[in-house]
Structures are given as C-alpha cells and as structure tokens.
Structure 1
Amino acid sequence: MEREHAVGVVGVGTMGQHFVEWLLEDGFPVFVFDVDDDRIDVAEASGATGVSSPAALADRAETVVLSLPGSQYVERVMEGGGDGDDTDTANGILATLGEGQLVVDTGTTRVETDLHYARECRDRDAHFVDAPLTWSGPGNRPTMFVGASEEGYARARPVLEVLSAQHHHFGGLGSGQIVKAGHRLRQNNMAMVDAEMVEFLRNNGVDPEAATDLLDLDVADRLFEETYPSTEGWAAATETETETETATAGTDGRNGTDGTSEASDDTAPDGLEGARTAAPRDDLCEGAVRPRMAVSHWAKDHAYAIEIGHASNTALPVSSAVYQAMLASQNYAESLFDRELGFQDPDWFDRADPISHFRRLNRPAEEWRRVGRNDSDGLDAPADPADQDPEDDR
C-alpha cells in the first residue's frame, strides 16, 4: 500500500488526544491506534482515522508518534503484543515499517529501549527519534528534549514544531531521554527538599507558609495542608519490610543523628524482590524499614523509576532528602508493578500528594524537634503543634 503523507499516533490518552488535535489543526491527516476503543472514538470524532493495530497504522502513515506510558508499552507496540505476555509480530509497527519512515517516541522510556528500536528502524532504512516532553516551559504546548541523528531530526522537525512550544536537539539517540531523566531527577528531589523543609518548620512551631512567603520560595501550596488525601491506591506503597536480614546494622533504614541518611541494602538489585509484610506505622519493630512513599507519578515504568532513583544516589550528595527520594522511588515502582495501575487511574495523584504522605510517615515529629533545637540549650523548646488546640490562633 502506498503510504499517505500522514502522522499516526499510537496511544491517544490525554497527551495523545492533544497531539491529534494539534496535528489536525495544522492540516496533517492523522491515523490513531489505542487499546481503548473509546479513546479511538474520541479521536475519530475530532477528525482522525482509527485503525486496528500499530502495524496497520505504520502501513498508512509516514510518521509514527508514540504517546505511551512506559518502556514495556513501547516494546509491545513495536514488536506486536496480544493479551498478557503474548507476542503477535504481525500487529507490531516493525511488521510494516519501511524505508524513509519515522518513529518519534514522546514518552519517558529507558535509553536502551529507544536505542534498541532505533537499530531496528535503521535496519529497515527508517528513522527513530526520542523526544520526551515536559510541561515546564513557555506556551500552552510541551517542551521536548530531542535525541536523534541529524537526518532523523531534520525529518522529525516539522512534526515536533507542531507538537511542542519549543524543542531542542541535544545530540544522538538517547540524548532526549537523558535530559528528561535529569529534569525529573531535579524536580523530584527539589520537591522532596521542600517537603522536608515544611515539615521541619511545622514540627518546630513555625508557620511554614509564612516563612516561604517571606522568602518568596516556590513551594507547592498543598504541602501546607494539615490533612492529606488517602485512598486504597497507596496501600501497597505504605507497606513496610519487616524482614531485616539485609538491613544495615545500626541504621535500621532510618536517618543518622547528623541529618544524613545511611544506605541500607534492603532490596534486590532490581528493587522488586524480597518479602513484604504490611505493618501500620505505630507497629514498626526495631530494625524495620520505615514506610516508603511514592515521590511522584512520573515513573510509569517500574524499572525506569528504579534507575532514576539510584541516579539520585550518585548524581547528588546523599542527603536525607535525596536518599529518601531514592527509597521512595523504589517503593513507588514496586507498588505500581504489583497493582498494575494504569496511567490516570483514580489512584494517581499529583506529585505533592504522595510527598505529603511521605513526610508524615517518614519523619516523626520528635525527630524534627530533635534536629531543630536541643532542649539542653536553656531555651524553651517550641510548642508541639500536635498539642495545640486547633482553634488557637497561630
């Protein structure tokens, strides 16, 4: 079949639907595929044409845009995937991809995954571009970080200019994913530092909102709330590991008295193995690892989450916030893997929500007061906020 000068979008959730609308507005014919027929219906109502498989889409469109929630989904649509772990190569993009075509991966995907499929595309005389995105930036469209060969970037540029408010070509294949990883690493660790600061101030009798307003700090308003959202979606993430055979002696997964965190090798290399037993916060036995909460919902691929979590242990000083962010990332990845949460499930939260849970569980008030002020200094310690009447004027 002669391919049309069109763009195919695989994955038409919230971001994919935006892509469809923008491409149609710019005059591109658009084909779409999604495992959810309702999403295809929405895209068709906008003017796109639905197809039956990724292979059928690649058979019709010169440019294929992947808008998928993680590496495993990229693998599935490229190779062809049926129910469960079944593979049907006839349905995959690689089955019909040919000379001159272009695949653009806009998701947060592991570098090695994108490099693998870039080689597969090259073997077919096609191009592959990694272009993960962020909404941090100017305009009402995302910013894209691009990794590609010069030729691949030149081919992708007309489409990238439609899909983004701005984009930058950082270098060869995989460069875009590396920039995205660095960007997210900073975001999550800065958010964790903010959460630790807010809890430190509150538990030492100071109004954190007043302090951050005075300093004009960009701290999420939700961190100032006294109550925190909770649904059963976080049940897996609040479990604790009560088997401590591999816990570091003397640290029991907690922060040292100097305010830094000492690592404990309490997980297998892939972060997914080991017995896990649910335990309420008040029932933590000596030597148990503290409950570890999710940092954000960006890591939809569990292995990628663990990789970035470990990156925080090497790219930055191992401060309390950074190391706890690594543990939270590992535990978050495991909870997603266990629960098989889908992107935009009701159990997903904005990044500030799980951070609120995290700081409440991981930093008891007495620890904050201990590191904040020593009672032996002869001064009156700040009042315990927990002992104050809620009606008192603070």
Structure 2
Amino acid sequence: MTNVGVVGLGNMGRGMAASLLRRDFRVVGYDASAASAQRAAEAGVELVDSLAEVAAQCDILVLSLPNPQIVEAVINGADGLSKHMRSGTLILDTSTSDPQVSRRLAAQLKEVGVRFVDAPVSGGPSGAQNGALTFFIGGDEEDVSRATPVLDAMAKNRFHIGASGAGNVAKIVNNLLCASHLVIAAEAFKLAESAGVPVGDLLESINAGSGRSGVTMYNFPSRILNGAFNSGFTMQLMRKDVRLAMSLVKSQGLELPIVQDMADVWQASESVIPDGDDFNRIVQFSAAEAQE
C-alpha cells in the first residue's frame, strides 16, 4: 500500500482523497481547518496534526490549496513541508497557482532531492469525488511517470503539457476561456431574449452549431437555466484565476484588450456578487447595478 499525504481537505482535496481511498491507497491528511479535516476523517482519511507528520509518513504529497501564496507558505513557512520532507519525496500540487511560483519551488526543492509537479485540475468537486478530474501537468517526465498511479486514481483525463509551470499555464488559459465564455454567452443570450427568443428555445440549436462552448453545452443547462448554481466553484476562486491570468499577461508584456475587458467585468462584479456565490452567477451581473 502506498502512503499518500493530502494537504488541503476542502471540497477538492477531500474528493481526491476519497478517490485515492477507493484505489486502496493509505491516505494521510492535514488541513488547518478543523471542520474540513473532520469531514475528511469521516470519509476514511487518517488525520494528523501537522505538516511535519504528513511529511514523515508519506513519500508522495498531494496539495490542494486555494492560491499560490498558501502553496508557498505550506512549503516554505516557519514549520512548512520543506523543513521536514525526506529526499525522494514527490509533491503533486493540484492547486491552480502561478507558473512562476511553481517553477521557483521546483528548482528550490530539486536542490534537496524533493521533486515537484504542478498538476492543477478541472472538473470541480464532483469530478474530484468520482475520480473524473482532468489534470494539466507540468514537470519532468520521470517525476510525472512516478506520479501516474496516484494521478490515475483521481483522473478521467491527464495531459503532460510540458516542463515545470506548464500545467499552471494550461489551467490558467482553460479558466480564462471559461470565464470569458460565461460573460459573452450571458450577453449573447440577453440579446436573444430582448429580440423575443428565450434561451431555452435557443440553446439546443446553438449547441449544434459553431457558437457552442462548454459553457453553453454544460453550464447553462445544468447550472444556470435550472437555477441550481451549485457547481461547488465560487466567485472568489474564479476571480482569483482571472487575476492569475492577468498577472501572466503582464509578465509576458502583452496587451490583450478583450481579455482586459473581461477581467474588468469579473473585478466589477465583486461589489454585487458575494465571494461565496457559485461562479456561474456572473451571468446575472449588471454593470449598471455595480455602479449604483
């Protein structure tokens, strides 16, 4: 039995831990939130009280954390993983993070014999729970190969994009497209309804035509038109991912005016759509309301 540590036991980390347990991995978990840790324990995860204990018991560590700042703190904080990991440990970071942070951590850890693979995911909490995630992977071929049994326990699809950081570039681009498609689809459907054609009457034909996207094929029928708004992915998380995209744009010295306009919409929505709301709520955003 391979011992796998999972650091971060929120909706995503807890689901990934459950998928690993079904494949007969021993899963040792840690989360700073007692409530998140308890829910994971009820699913069969063996809890420990510190990052040091996770590092002591496991040679493969899966990180599922909210942002690159927390990834950095978990690894390099005062009592972070870097103080306790043995040479040969492999970190599989499934957080959506900054590619530059991933590259820097990979280089730093390599010097002490610890390997780092960035492997952010798409598929939401249901995909994590059901072992049906899509992984965007960046790292050395040898390290990715070593991580394959763990990845396969959690994945429906996995793509090794390239060297360290490439996984996060791919995930940022993926979420940038999703964020953009939601905004433009919402406006396009407002146009249709203003012209007398309800979205429900329009959607099937759009999804058979060239205007379709994942947003029109899945989000609208499954999360939006039925009023569910229950993807498990929040406005706060998508706003963070859009900010990561804009940071990447800046780092590349690019001017992408349409991307900037879309990012401005997500930023402006902060004043009227709470962070904890489902990210699909962006389709209800009104610039006029935000300016009031």
* TM-score after normalising by structure 2: 0.80
> Structure 1 pair 351/192, CA: closer, same or farther in 2 (3 Å)?
same
- Matched letter for residue 304 of structure 1: L
Q: Tell me what 1:327 maps to.
A: 264
- Aligned residue number for residue 351 of structure 1: 279
Task: Report the Cα distance in structure 2 between the residues aligned to 1:124 and 1:158, rounded to whole angstroms.
Answer: 24
Q: Does 1:182 align with 2:173?
A: yes
Letter in 2 for 1:35: A
Q: Does 1:124 align with 2:64?
A: no
Count of residue correspondences: 272
Whether contact under 8 Å (2:74, 2:81) holds in the other structure is yes
Helix, strand or coil for the counterpart of 2:238? coil
Shift of 1:168: 1.4
Q: Residues 86-105 of structure 1 correspond to what in structure 2 (within 5 A)? A: 89=78, 91-105=79-93
> CA deviation digits over 1:179-200, x for unaligned, max 9?
1111111111111111111122
User: For residue 148 of structure 1, what is the amino acid of its counterpart?
Assistant: G
1:34 alignment counterpart = 31
Range that drifts further, 68-77 or 20-29: 20-29
Question: For the structure 1 residues 153 and 223, does the alpha-carbon distance in structure 2 shift closer, same or farther, using more than 3 Å as the test?
Answer: closer
> Larger helix proportion, structure 1 or 2?
2
In 1, distance between residues paired with 2:262 and 2:249?
Answer: 7
RMSD of aligned Cα (Å): 3.5
The answer for the alignment partner of 2:59 in structure 1 is 62
| Rounded Cα–Cα distance in structure 2 between residues aligned with 1:199 and 1:351 | 18
| Secondary structure of 1:298 counterpart | helix
Report which of the two structures shows the higher radius of gyration computed on alpha carbons. 1
1:190-225 Cα deviation digits (max 9, x unpaired): 111111111222334443433334434526147669
Q: Indicate conservation of the 8 Å contact 1:133/1:145, yes or no.
A: yes
Structure 2 counterpart of 1:39, which letter? S
The 3-state SS of whatever aligns with 1:30 is: strand
Q: Does the alignment pair 1:298 with 2:238?
A: yes
SS in 1 for 2:59: strand
| Partner SS, residue 29 of structure 2 | strand
Call closer, same or farther: CA 1:329–1:45 in 2, change over 3 Å. same
Q: Give 1:99 deviation, angstroms.
A: 1.1
How much does 1:66 deviate? Answer: 0.3
Q: 2:138 maps to which residue?
A: 147
Paired-residue identity, %: 27
TM-score by length of 1: 0.60
Secondary structure in 1 matching 2:146 = helix
Q: For residue 276 of structure 2, what is the amino acid of its counterpart? A: W
Deviation digits for residues 138-195 of structure 1 (CA, Å, limit 9, x no counterpart): x851010111111211221111111211211111101111111111111111111111
Structure 1: unaligned runs, 5 residues or longer: 81-88, 230-293, 336-340, 342-346, 364-394
Contact 1:53 1:92 in 2 (8 A): no
Between the two structures, name the one with larger relative contact order (CA 8 Å, sep ≥ 6): 2
- Matched residue, 1:198: 189
Q: CA deviation at 1:124?
A: 1.0
